[in-house]
Structure 1
Amino acid sequence: MSTGIETKGLKPELRRLVESRNNAKVFDAEHASPNIGIVMAKTRPEDVNWLMELHQDLPFRPFIYSLNPSVEPGCLAPRSRRGRETAAYLSYIIDNYDLLPDYSIFMHAKDEQWHNDVLGQKATDTIKALRFQHINATGFANLRCTLFPGCPIGVNPLDPSEQDILNKDTRAFFAEIYMELFDVTREQVPRHIGNVCCAQFAVTRARILERPRSDYERMLSWADQSREGDFGVGWVFEKVWDTVFGMDAINCPDYEQCRCDMYGWCGPLASGEVLKPSFT
């Protein structure tokens, strides 16, 4: 029976790349450094074939996870489908923990979306312009520079509002969720959490490996078994991805400096000042 939903399947050349994603001989022989993996979760209507255009300019290893109950041809099967991209991201880390590329770029499936801000809405342009010197120096970097939404404070785990408590909003239970995700005591839960949205970021292999695989397995177990719906699980992780990868609970870089550090857009600013990248 037709669902009325158009399927945007992977083209053969992209399927072949996914199939050879962990063939080190293929990628070492054919592609220049750095070794990059692009990770995304795909629903059936989403078209990810734009990745082939990107691959011509920036060779990478694709890890495309299907969020459909029946895995789309050419896609990978996540360990769970909870939390939108959450389970796919964690499945990637768990399954490839010993085979991670130098850099992992976690992206949404659509090429054009409002989450991409500095160079327009196209993911292709965003990724092509990335300064890996900065990612290498910081270990983790959000791909978005605009501070809203999420900064300066997105959630107060230890001080939920009366309305959140009355409505049984996720914010009312955030401290308990944080304790379970990170296996910490209440005293270790930060009073405030603030970071740039929207679950698109780049991480070095070294930074991912600072946590044992068991940490990511525990986080995935929570996502899979949580009473929160897909939106709630995804929202929780959007607030803590920075923490997962070793950043401060409040991580809100200056917009202009972020633009310079991440994409080399250093000015001149309206004041006439020209910035310098934090790391070169």
Structure 2
Amino acid sequence: MKFSGEKVSAVIARYSEELSWLEALDCPSTVYNKGESPVEGAVVLPNVGRESHTYLTHIVRNYPDFPEFLVFLQGAPFIHMEEGADCAKLNSLIADCIDRNVPFKGFAWFRLVCDRLGRPHQMADPANKGKWAGWGRDIPVGDTYEKLFERTPPEKFIASAATGLFMVRRDRILVRSKNFYEKALGVIESDPGDARNTGHAFERLWQVVFNGSRSINPELG
């Protein structure tokens, strides 16, 4: 089933991934390209802040004119979904969320529970040494939470969108002001090379950002 752009659209954070799978996606998409190889029709962004920078840039630039649902995806989403997942499976998940009016849904095959330092994590996996600037460091989940919400972070976080693949309803985005997302974008941009793993921290905080609670927004109270 094809959905209109007023109902749902996708935001794609691409570096060098092959995107032919988008032809089978049942909704319109906006591709943001941070890699050196061009993509026709893509919005070019500097290669900073991982996919979190891409997502927040889209929100800030389009606030408050969103479709009923937004889908946020990395350029190669299926490796983080259940075994054998493909665009047909992704379309089915999107359609199910729309049918049930789900406010927030992570698409990874797993959820994780972590502490304020993102533990347990695999940031020191020898196989990944040198792949990113923050290799070997903890993930500043608690510190990033405190910067965003100006309150003491909880001891534990349940991350339901840990791989940066999720779908969120428009009203959940609009609970927080444009200024909030600009602030969040600034937090990401303060660590452009992700040397402190701030981008990884956002992967563990999306369910908090879009949880609909006004009480943890310092602007709105």
TM range (shorter): 0.7 to 0.9
Taking a change above 3 Å as real, the CA distance of residues 38 and 227 of structure 1, as seen in their structure-2 partners, is: closer
- 1:95 aligned partner: 61
1 CA distance for matches of 2:119 and 2:33?
37
- 2:115 aligned partner: 155
Q: Does 1:233 align with 2:181?
A: no
Higher-strand-fraction structure: 2
TM-score, normalised on structure 2? 0.75
2 CA distance for matches of 1:134 and 1:203?
13
Structure 1 vs Structure 2 CA RMSD: 3.3
Q: Does 1:143 align with 2:107?
A: yes
Counterpart amino acid of residue 203 in structure 2:
E
Taking a change above 3 Å as real, the CA distance of residues 242 and 230 of structure 1, as seen in their structure-2 partners, is: farther
Tell me how far 1:31 sits from its aligned partner.
5.7
Report if aligned partners of 1:106, 1:202 keep a CA contact under 8 Å in 2: yes
Gaps spanning 5+ residues in structure 2: where? 125-134, 214-221
Gaps spanning 5+ residues in structure 1: where? 1-29, 249-280
Report if aligned partners of 2:24, 2:87 keep a CA contact under 8 Å in 1: no
TM-score, normalised on structure 1? 0.60
- 2:154 aligned partner: 190
2 CA distance for matches of 1:77 and 1:33?
21
Report if aligned partners of 2:77, 2:165 keep a CA contact under 8 Å in 1: no
Q: Give aligned-pair identity as a percent.
A: 22
- 1:170 aligned partner: 138
Counterpart amino acid of residue 100 in structure 1:
F
Tell me how far 1:129 sits from its aligned partner.
3.9
* Equivalences for residues 103-122 of structure 1 within 5 A: 103-110=69-76, 112-113=78-79, 115-117=80-82, 120-122=84-86
Report if aligned partners of 2:8, 2:70 keep a CA contact under 8 Å in 1: yes
Counterpart amino acid of residue 208 in structure 1:
I
Taking a change above 3 Å as real, the CA distance of residues 33 and 40 of structure 1, as seen in their structure-2 partners, is: closer
Q: Specify the SS of the correspondent of 2:53.
A: helix
Q: Specify the SS of the correspondent of 2:148.
A: helix
May I ask how many residue pairs the two structures share in their alignment? 197
Tell me how far 1:191 sits from its aligned partner.
1.5
2 CA distance for matches of 1:53 and 1:90?
25
Q: Does 1:68 align with 2:39?
A: no
Tell me how far 1:168 sits from its aligned partner.
8.8
The structure 1 residue matched to 2:50, chosen from 76, 84, 88, is 84
The structure 1 residue matched to 2:23, chosen from 22, 40, 52, is 52
Tell me how far 1:179 sits from its aligned partner.
1.3
Report if aligned partners of 2:48, 2:193 keep a CA contact under 8 Å in 1: no
2 CA distance for matches of 1:237 and 1:174?
7
- 2:219 aligned partner: none
* Rg larger for: 1
2 CA distance for matches of 1:145 and 1:64?
23
Counterpart amino acid of residue 169 in structure 1:
R
- 2:131 aligned partner: none
Tell me how far 1:177 sits from its aligned partner.
2.5
1 CA distance for matches of 2:182 and 2:172?
17
2 CA distance for matches of 1:33 and 1:100?
9
Q: Specify the SS of the correspondent of 1:216.
A: helix
User: Which stretch shifts more, 66-75 or 202-211?
Assistant: 66-75
Q: Specify the SS of the correspondent of 1:50.
A: helix
2 CA distance for matches of 1:109 and 1:158?
24
Report if aligned partners of 1:82, 1:224 keep a CA contact under 8 Å in 2: yes
Q: Specify the SS of the correspondent of 1:223.
A: helix
